């Protein structure tokens, strides 16, 4: 008997339909539900409801269901980094790290313990054969594409991955679930921080990082107010500054343009399209390459946020990272975000942004 495929069954409609498609294709199939957050004192974590939904899906599809907690691995490999980055004034993306360290790290190791051959998930992405390694491609439904979140997953892990939803639009996924009588066909999509759930972010962060008030200032040094901590703000942010209209300035919104870590100062400017919010180049840390990069400098499409449209850029790979020069300045690039490189539909890899070439952000 061939080794089973293990489907990561979250309790949502995407992983449920991925399981449905795999079963219809004739795979020997078992399901694994992982819980990775063990602190639900405030009631925002949906772990109990997710587990019950996963049980209902597994029962409907008549597949064995396993359960495991990776809470310790998540806190050590993802959440600690998440807090350290915010404490340092950067804007991390825990979902990217979670995919590498938990879903295609600890979970993939557990799949082997279950005797599984491959790990399937409900990610919207595609895999295609490549020369000696799989090629990670965007999903056909560009509005749901999650290849950006998979940029740090090693090629060796992708070799054992299956993404059954990569060729489907989300509307068809829900319709397939409804027609098959899957009980979660109309369950809302999950949002918020990976595994932690949707909750008031500022209050959540404050339970782990103490407030550190400092001045809110213009690039010229004029103080306009006080912030509670640089970790509560990111580049391009408008809401939550609490400075409103200020004497001597036009009646226009203020936006975060940079952070002066040495003075614990938040730099703000007026106007959504203020030039100080734009960067013409950035520097990444070490790049995780899914495909061997071309020799020397090469052109590609750059994406620095999940829902940001890719933009043309030129990449200069180096030993410690990559220098990226954009064809046109891009708004609100923040240190700590991930830069993903694409060749048409293929994700080549990416790295953490360590600096952006913007006057207001040179304090970093």
DSSP reduced 3-state for 339: strand
Long-range contacts, stretch 116-119, CB < 8 angstroms, 24+ apart: 116/3, 116/4, 116/5, 116/6, 116/30, 117/2, 117/3, 117/4, 117/5, 117/160, 118/5, 118/6, 118/160, 118/161, 118/162, 119/5, 119/6, 119/7, 119/8, 119/160, 119/161, 119/162
Tokens of 250: 């036009």
DSSP 8-state symbol, 160: T
- Cβ–Cβ < 8 Å for 345, 137: yes
Alpha-carbon span 268 to 168, nearest angstrom: 42
Beta-sheet pairing, 5-8 with 278-284? unpaired
Angle between helices 170-179 and 13-24 (to 10 degrees): 70
State yes or no: is 45 an active-site residue.
no
Pick the catalytic residue: 194, 300, 347, 358?
194
Pick the catalytic residue: 98, 107, 300, 347?
98
Tokens of 312: 């043309």
Burial class (CB in 10 A: 0-12, 13-18, 19+), 215: middle
State yes or no: is 98 an active-site residue.
yes
Tokens of 252: 């226009």
Which residues in the chain belong to E strands, given as ranges? 5-8, 29-35, 65-69, 118-120, 125-128, 135-138, 161-162, 214-217, 223-227, 254-260, 265-270, 278-284, 288-289, 298-303, 311-317, 322-331, 338-343, 346-356
Tell me which residues are annotated as active site: 98, 194
């Amino acid at each position: 008997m061939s080794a089973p495929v293990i489907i990561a069954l979250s309790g949502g409609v995407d992983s449920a339909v991925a399981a449905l498609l795999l079963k219809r294709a004739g795979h020997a199939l078992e399901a694994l539900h992982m819980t990775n957050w063990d602190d639900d004192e405030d009631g925002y974590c949906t772990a109990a409801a997710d587990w019950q939904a996963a049980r209902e899906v597994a029962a409907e599809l008549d597949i064995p269901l396993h359960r495991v907690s990776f809470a310790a691995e998540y806190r050590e490999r993802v959440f600690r980094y998440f807090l350290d980055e915010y404490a340092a004034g950067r804007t991390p993306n825990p979902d990217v790290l979670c995919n590498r360290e938990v879903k295609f790290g600890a979970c993939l190791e557990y799949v082997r313990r279950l005797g599984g051959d491959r790990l399937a998930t409900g990610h919207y992405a595609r895999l295609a054969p490549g020369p000696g390694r799989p090629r990670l491609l965007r999903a056909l439904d560009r509005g749901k594409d999650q290849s950006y979140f998979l940029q740090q997953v090693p090629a060796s892990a992708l070799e054992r991955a299956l993404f059954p939803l990569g060729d489907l639009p989300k509307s068809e996924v829900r319709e397939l679930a409804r027609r098959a009588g899957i009980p979660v066909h109309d369950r809302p999509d999950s949002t918020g921080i990976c595994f932690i759930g949707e909750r008031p972010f500022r209050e959540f962060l404050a339970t782990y990082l103490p407030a550190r008030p400092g001045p809110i200032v213009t690039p010229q040094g004029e103080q306009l107010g006080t912030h509670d901590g640089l970790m509560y703000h990111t580049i391009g942010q408008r809401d939550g500054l609490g400075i409103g209209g200020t004497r001597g300035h036009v009646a226009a919104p203020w936006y975060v343009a940079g952070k002066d870590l040495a003075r614990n100062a938040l730099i703000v400017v007026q106007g959504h399209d203020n030039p100080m919010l734009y960067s013409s180049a950035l520097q990444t840390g070490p790049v995780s390459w899914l495909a061997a990069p071309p020799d020397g400098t090469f052109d590609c499409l750059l994406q620095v946020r999940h829902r940001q449209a890719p933009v043309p850029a030129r990449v200069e790979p180096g030993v410690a990272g990559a220098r990226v020069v954009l064809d046109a300045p891009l708004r609100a690039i923040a240190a700590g975000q991930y830069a993903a490189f694409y060749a048409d539909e293929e994700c080549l890899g990416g790295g953490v942004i360590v600096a952006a070439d913007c006057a207001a952000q040179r304090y970093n």
